[in-house]
Amino acid sequence: MIIGITGVFGSGKTTVAKLFAKHGYKHINADVVGHKLLDNSVIKSKVVKAFGSGILSKGKINRRKLKDIVFNDHTELIKLNKIIHKPIINKIKSIVKKNKKGKIAIDGALLIETKCLKMFDKLIVVKISRKEQYRRVLKKGKYTKEDIDNIIKSQLSQKEKLKYGDITIDNSKDIRTTEKQIKAII
């Protein structure tokens, strides 16, 4: 069983995937796969060529600098996605292939946008209230309200994502409420 877990920025996709992992699912985080691929010499070279050496810090791609560029200019985000999406999907497919008979939970914000829905037996959309979304993301201290607004604008809306889901998990409340929903799904 391969499930895709998606939702808007800050909805708790990774938290939900980790809860599935507690129930025997192998967790694959598309963001982590993408971050590792930025160290790949071929991909790193393409990204530096596209965005300039100013995104480097100590010879590595500084993800914060790259985020500042792509989440403030949709054209730049499209450019990055053209470089990185296909390698991310290929790497995920490779991991899935090695775990053919297992239960797998793949979490990623752009599972719908990358048109890889045929990969999943079920797609779960994690939804969250806007107020709780901002509260949780701001609490982490990594993003400003403006950063959050820019990232949200760059993705499909929650309303649109919900149209694609086979299952919806409401992650607006506490972790116990979310876990009860996951147990019911399993």
Structural domains in the chain (count): 1
Instruction: Report the percentage of the chain scoring pLDDT > 70.
Output: 100
- What is the rounded CA–CA span in Å between residue 159 and residue 142? 26
Q: From residue 39, give the alpha-carbon distance in Å to each of 84, 87, 114, 143.
A: 12, 12, 21, 23
The pLDDT of residue 145 is 93
pLDDT number for residue 117: 87
In the structure, what pLDDT confidence band is assigned to residue 10 with cuts at 50, 70 and 90? very high
Q: Half-sphere exposure of 45 toward its Cβ, with a 13 Å CA cutoff?
A: 3
- Alpha carbons 74 and 53: distance in angstroms, whole number: 20
Q: Per-residue pLDDT for 102 more than 90?
A: no
- Mean of per-residue pLDDT scores for the chain: 94
Q: Which amino acid is it at 16?
A: V
Find, among 98, 99, 118, 88, the residue nearest to 21 by Cα: 99
Domain extent for 8: 2-185
**CA 95 vs CA 14, 27, 37, 98, 122: distances in Å:** 18, 10, 14, 5, 18
Q: List the CATH number of the domain containing 77.
A: 3.40.50.300
Radius of gyration of the chain (CA): 17
Does residue 183 surpass a pLDDT of 80? yes
Contacts of 163 by beta carbon, 8 Å cutoff, 6+ apart: none
Cα–Cα distance measured from residue 152 to residue 160, given in angstroms and rounded to the nearest whole number: 13
Give pLDDT tens digits for 126-153.
999 999 999 999 999 989 999 999 999 8
pLDDT score for 13 = 97
